[in-house]
A and B are shown apart, each in its own frame.
Chain A
Amino acid sequence: MYSIRNKLNFTIIASMVLVMSVAAVFLYVRVAGHVEEIFDSALFDKAHSLISLTELDEEGLEFDFAEEGVMLEFHEHAALQYYQLWEEGVELLIKSPSLGDTDLPMLDTRLGQHQFADLALPDGRSGRLIEINFMPRVEIEGDEEDEDYGQEIPQALPVTMVFARERESLDATLFAIGVTVSGVVLAVLLLSGLLIWRLVGSGLSPLSDLARQVGDIDESNLDARLTHKGEQSIEIAPIEDQLNHLLERLQSAFEREKRFSSNVAHELRTPLAELKTLAEVGAMVPEDPEQLAEFFKDAGDISGQMEKIVATLLELARSEAGLLRSDPEDIDLSRYCDEIWQHSINGQGSGKSLVKNMPDDLVISTDREKLGMILSNLFINAVSYSPDNAEIHICAGIRNDNVVLEVKNASIDLKPEDIVHMKDRFWRKQKAHAGNGHSGLGLTLVDALAKIMHLDVNLKLDNQQTFMVTISGIQPSLH
């Protein structure tokens, strides 16, 4: 795991160091190059001034700059300079008194060319030289009309001149430039680093705040929502929104799970309490066979009720785990409805009757067992929650190439707001045990089974208090 802030700081600062270093080196090289050019230009000018003071006349080569009292820098001076001239690069013509017994190095420069080089001066200082190979200027005296004009002048030969001077002032200037550039770069980097540290921290503070809020959330406070101070950033807003939606779903799932566990516990605790009390109290009345018989009958009923709850829960668990498959077969719907009604209600319908409205020859193709469980649950619910002597209607017809099945009955106390909860596990209009054996799992199971069969279950309560369950998507038989 890494810190975004540290990584950003490190990356930005490292990038800045790199960029600033390159810029500093570039700047230094440019400035130093320019300063060296100026230095070399001065060297060149001085060398040329020496050349201009070199002339060839009848007496041979003359070096006016070497005359006594002229150009003291070549004699005794705080900043000694040096020169040395050779003819044709071999014969030493003259060298500055400042050289004493030493010589300047000679480069191999072609006529009319010049070149620069660094060297160690005889006095130990570092220096820079320029070597120029030139033809000396010829100085002819007399009248050009004369016959012997210029004939007494010796033949001019190429002269190599090396002029050298210390370069410590140049080095000091370059060092000063280097120090200044480095100092400025370091100062800029330091200040930038601090600014970057603060700005990145400030820029990431909504993220830190978000992380802190998220870190504070656990299963005990899932109702908490992420908030922000001040203006929302467009980068954080979608994260915050998504996390809040996730929290809502998580809270809802936790509550559903908690409610489910609580409901399971409640649904099983009550019959367990009944069984336990029957056993304990039954042991107190061994002399009363009539009472005991009643208790045994109650125990049997309770076991049956618990078995039904457990079986339904297992069926739901299997459907959620994807262990149930739909196995379609042709079913004569009208006959099958009668069969399920007889089997489910078994004369216990308190005078309630099934009214069918469907073609007698309607044959559908679906999973027989699961459709039977669906119809059975719907019939039992309809009978349990309708007024005495009510009619339970079942209608079927073909709509858009699919069979639509509808079970409807008059409802006693349902309200429109109840409809959304009716598929929830253990939802009952009356939370109490009304003694009708309903655990609130029937419609949950109907919905789960319908999903496996790729059917839609729609619940509706109309203005006349008629409750309708519509199952759509049933395939008619192709045969």
Chain B
Amino acid sequence: MKLLLVEDSERLQRSLSTGLQKHGFTVDQAFDGEEALSFIAINQYDAIILDLMLPKIDGLAVLTRLRSDGNDCHVLILSANDQTEDRVHGLDLGADDYLVKPFSFDELVSRLRALNRRRSGEKNPLVEVDGVGIDTVTRQVSFAHTVIALTPHEYRLLEFLAHRRGRVYSHDQLIDQLYDAGSYVTRNAVEAHISSLRKRLKQAGAPKLVETRRGFGYLIE
């Protein structure tokens, strides 16, 4: 799940990014509204974590611009403004969720996962594909009651494609989704992760799951 974290507090950016990445999220960081809009213009995000009091362009203006441009990306507002009218205003402008600072990091992660499920139409945090179970909460993959050990990148790849079954994603799209904007990743890295994922599934006796469409990319049927 690819996130854009828009927060002007450098310290909060740092700790949140570290924590979210640990939970398997791909995180791009923007420190003001202007930077956030630049990121949004060139990347596709599953969700945006948006602070309201931002330098240059404030959070609500970013949200308004986002929605007026037809971008339906999930937006979770993360703000110290705790008044009901603030929340109502934010949600009415098109935010999908509102979390007041200080917040529980686990709650933030749960809400992000819920937003991701909402996007894919899944309500159950446990996704099952051809007998392979993907627990998006514990981030564990299992087949026939046996846990399949995956690296964070392999897991993200599997979860991403499992949530978007039937859709083909190119190397570039997968790089874009699985890595943050600051990472330098080649096509070979994606291929290596796909190969490794298939190998681990095979070792567990699970189906191959990830199919290749030559010249187009990868998908889970």
Query: Which residues of A come within 8 Å of B, CB atoms?
Result: 262, 265-266, 269-270, 272-278, 280-282, 284-285, 291, 294-295, 298, 301-302, 430-435
Query: Which residues of B come within 8 Å of A, CB atoms?
Result: 8-12, 14-16, 18-19, 22, 32, 51, 53-55, 58, 80-83, 100-106
Among B16, B22, B55, B102, the one with the most A-chain Cβ atoms within 10 Å of its Cβ is: B102
Among A270, A285, A434, the one with the most B-chain Cβ atoms within 10 Å of its Cβ is: A270
B101 is contacted by which of A269, A291, A298 (Cβ under 8 Å)?
A: A269
Which residues on the A side are within 8 Å of B19 (C-beta)? Answer: 277, 280-281, 284
Q: Which B residue sits closest to A277, measured CB to CB?
A: B15
Q: Which A residue sits closest to B16, measured CB to CB?
A: A277
If A270-B9, A273-B101 touch, whether A278 touches B15 (CB-CB below 8 Å) is yes
Which residues on the A side are within 8 Å of B102 (C-beta)? Answer: 269, 272-273, 275-277
Q: Which B residue sits closest to A272, measured CB to CB?
A: B102
A274 is contacted by which of B12, B32, B106 (Cβ under 8 Å)?
A: B12
Question: Could you list some 25 contacts between A and B, CB below 8 A?
Answer: A265-B80, A266-B81, A270-B12, A270-B80, A274-B12, A275-B102, A276-B103, A277-B16, A280-B19, A280-B104, A280-B105, A280-B106, A281-B16, A281-B19, A281-B22, A282-B15, A284-B18, A301-B11, A302-B11, A431-B53, A431-B58, A432-B51, A432-B54, A433-B53, A435-B10
What is the minimal beta-carbon distance from B109 to any residue of chain A, in angstroms? 10
If A269-B101, A269-B102, A298-B14 touch, whether A435 touches B83 (CB-CB below 8 Å) is no
Among A274, A285, A431, the one with the most B-chain Cβ atoms within 10 Å of its Cβ is: A274
Which residues on the B side are within 8 Å of A266 (C-beta)? Answer: 53, 80-81
**Is the Cβ of B101 less than 8 Å from the Cβ of A262?**
no
**Is the Cβ of B11 less than 8 Å from the Cβ of A278?**
yes
Q: Please measure, in the bound complex, the distance between the C-alpha atom of A295 and the C-alpha atom of B10, giving whole angstroms.
A: 12
Q: Please measure, in the bound complex, the distance between the C-alpha atom of A303 and the C-alpha atom of B10, giving whole angstroms.
A: 15
Which residues on the A side are within 8 Å of B80 (C-beta)? Answer: 265-266, 269-270, 273
> Known contacts A276-B102, A284-B19; can you find 10 more A-B pairs with CB under 8 A?
A270-B9, A270-B12, A273-B103, A274-B12, A277-B12, A291-B18, A430-B55, A432-B8, A432-B54, A433-B9
Which residues on the A side are within 8 Å of B10 (C-beta)? Answer: 435
What is the minimal beta-carbon distance from A48 to any residue of chain B, in angstroms? 104
**Is the Cβ of B105 less than 8 Å from the Cβ of A277?**
yes
**Is the Cβ of A274 less than 8 Å from the Cβ of B11?**
yes
**Is the Cβ of B83 less than 8 Å from the Cβ of A262?**
yes
Q: Please measure, in the bound complex, the distance between the C-alpha atom of A282 and the C-alpha atom of B105, giving whole angstroms.
A: 11
What is the minimal beta-carbon distance from B105 to any residue of chain A, in angstroms? 4
Which residues on the A side are within 8 Å of B82 (C-beta)? Answer: 265, 269
**Is the Cβ of B12 less than 8 Å from the Cβ of A273?**
yes
Which residues on the B side are within 8 Å of A432 (C-beta)? Answer: 8, 32, 51, 53-55, 58
If A278-B15, A280-B104, A281-B18 touch, whether A433 touches B8 (CB-CB below 8 Å) is yes
Which residues on the B side are within 8 Å of A285 (C-beta)? Answer: 18, 22
**Is the Cβ of B14 less than 8 Å from the Cβ of A434?**
no
**Is the Cβ of A435 less than 8 Å from the Cβ of B81?**
no
What is the minimal beta-carbon distance from A425 to any residue of chain B, in angstroms? 16
Among B55, B100, B106, the one with the most A-chain Cβ atoms within 10 Å of its Cβ is: B55
Which residues on the B side are within 8 Å of A301 (C-beta)? Answer: 11
A276 is contacted by which of B54, B55, B83, B104 (Cβ under 8 Å)?
A: B104
What is the minimal beta-carbon distance from B81 to any residue of chain A, in angstroms? 7
Q: Which A residue sits closest to B81, measured CB to CB?
A: A266
Which residues on the B side are within 8 Å of A269 (C-beta)? Answer: 80, 82, 100-102
A435 is contacted by which of B9, B16, B105, B106 (Cβ under 8 Å)?
A: B9
What is the minimal beta-carbon distance from A49 to any residue of chain B, in angstroms? 105
What is the minimal beta-carbon distance from A309 to any residue of chain B, in angstroms? 13
Which residues on the B side are within 8 Å of A265 (C-beta)? Answer: 80, 82
